[in-house]
Structure 1
Amino acid sequence: MSDAPVPTAAYLCPRDGERAAPTTTAWCCPVCGGPWDLDTAALRPVRPDALGGRVNSLWRYEEALPLAGPAVSLGEGRTPLVPLTDRVSAKLDFLMPTLSFKDRGAVMLAELARRLSPDRVVADSSGNAGTAVAAYCARAGLACTVYVPEGTSPKKTEQIRAHGARLKIVPGGREATARAARAAAGAPGTFYASHVFNPYFLHGTKTYVYEIWEDLGCTLPDAIAVPVGNGTLLLGAALATSELLAHGLIDRRPALIAVQAEAVSPLAAAFRAGAEELSGAPEQAPPTLAEGIAIPRPPRARQILAAVRESGGTFLTVTEDQIRTAQRDLAARGLFVETTGVACWAAVGGETERSVVVPLCGAGLKTGLAV
């Protein structure tokens, strides 16, 4: 094990209450097989008057994070918030070190892995999370293997290889890729850097909302729109809004607007049906330009649906033509964003009644211009 401080927040299963030590490499609950949450009782409020002079990265919110004193940071976070219309602003998370918002969670996973000193790190991804994990493992000096589905953007696989990670291309879709990675994760000495199952990733993505809160003068917009596949940004946003509300740092919770591609929208369908879980979702997702959110069976589906409902939010879906139009519209405004990253703009760009923030969460160079 590394000589760095070990993590102290215990793992907690949200379904059955099972607990595990923070130093475990068990990547899921041994009782139900579901994703872990963290026991966050030790986290403290972020005081606005304490932020002056702090590091200009997501680590400035140290009281709210389950790890402190990182050695693997690349300066991630603190991305610009810019107005697009009178009511809609965009957070430019495509300006992260690996050109996507996934750096927020990947730095947490790599820092955790560094402290646990595994022989190897394994990750699976549709592209951006794998790129981010590869980059931060390179920063941490950790051997890394990334599993991706066949058909993943060549620009993303090139990035993964460039960071020195071993790339495994899996025949089939996202579910087959996850199974392959989980099989490899069972080998001794392996840390599974799962952006879905490991809650440290969510505590990284929640800094997205802390930054909006700080930039808007310690308040939040009426609504926060996020693209949803596995729901890592949405669940991070839900964590942040709950913490800020509990600590008396906001007086209301913004509505969470979850956006999915119409072609792959199992969560939107379940939400509209009033369901608490997914049922009967196909394993293989139909093709969509929004490859980053083409997830037919998200493991945290129950939590995602509950988080949207508790916020007073909703699900919206966008067509392939709307995605194409939104990408070109943003490019005409000076912002070249990948096709997954424009989904929220496609969904709420015409909002006129309430204030909304959308994430532009991946650079257009990752996928090119949709045709």
Structure 2
Amino acid sequence: MVRCCCGPGCSQRDTVAARRNNITFHRLPMKNSVKLEKWVNAIRRQDQKNGEPWTPTENSYICSAHFTQDCFDLTGQTVRLRDHAVPSVFQNGKQKKTSAIHIKCLASSCQENACLPYPIIYLQDHLYHLPSNAAEKRLRNQKIPLSTAEQEFNSTSWFPELKPGQLRLYCHRLCPYSHRTKLVLEHKKIRYQPLNINLKSKPDWFLEKNPCGLVPVLERDDKIIYESLVCNDYLDDVCPVPPLQSTDPYLRARDKMMIGQFDKDIKMALNLNLNECQKAEIKQKLVNHLQTFGKVLEQRGDYFGGDQVGLLDFNLWPWFERFEALEDFTETLKGFTNNFPTTLTSWKSRMLLQPAVQLTMSNLQPYTEFIRRFLTENKNG
């Protein structure tokens, strides 16, 4: 059940957009009658049915927009309310807009391992829009820069300043490989700035960072890392809490072999120029991968990482999130999801509950349109 704010007139819900705007949700202090009375009196909500004073329940939450900044304890890994905190930010029964709170979410062990020592700022990354909309063109013509999370940078875009110590992720909203690295960044609560690259019209300054012209690319100071699997290995090394890989070298190598071959076969499946025999062969290879993944899960537990989610889980997830969209127009993948072993179906349900998955989940319709156009143009070109 999605948590909703109980503030009068407030429509905030615990969604991806709310979290990106640093909105947190706090349960009412049901076990502290004195504090609860103060909160209920401050909220001043009435029951809509009979007009009587509202009675909170165990599932009653109020969002952070109704508290002043001195109410928050930001010293730990999670945002907590101080003991004296009472909601006070209301305006005519409606939510009063307040500036977003910069939340420090990194464990101290991460800070000791090259994670970035500055307040977290999650830039709002709008759900996928296709490149170069009219408003964006108009703003570019006026030389008014958009925020790096909203803008898609192309060959005419100037290079946005990268501050010392700042971690930047060059990515694309619709790219499953970018999605991989976002999953790890979100899971480890690493602070980063997403910067979306137009893959059909890439800036020269981006090609200098990665001559292959592919995303994702990580950059901090004079360090540049690219290729999604390499980026994720790097992030797990420099910020090892929570760990995402086994300490067993053989298991780490096996995971890399599995995801490497799976990626190759997925790319082949998306090739519109395959003949019927090739399509059947690639589809069978992918079905075999599913069977292998299912058997590995039976041995390891709930996740490929065992009892906890691991790197292979995140490296696989973007494809599993997209399979239903892909099989709608790719003949090689038609009916592919019907071949999921029970263990993989259960794994997918558990993955959907992962905070990093929920924070990075995307609207698949624009992705479907994008990949269809991309593949068709490649076929004709």
What range is the shorter-chain TM-score in?
under 0.3
User: Which protein shows a greater Rg?
Assistant: 2
User: Greater RCO between the two (CA within 8 Å, min separation 6)?
Assistant: 1
The normalised TM-score by structure 2 is 0.25
Report the structure, 1 or 2, having the larger strand content.
1
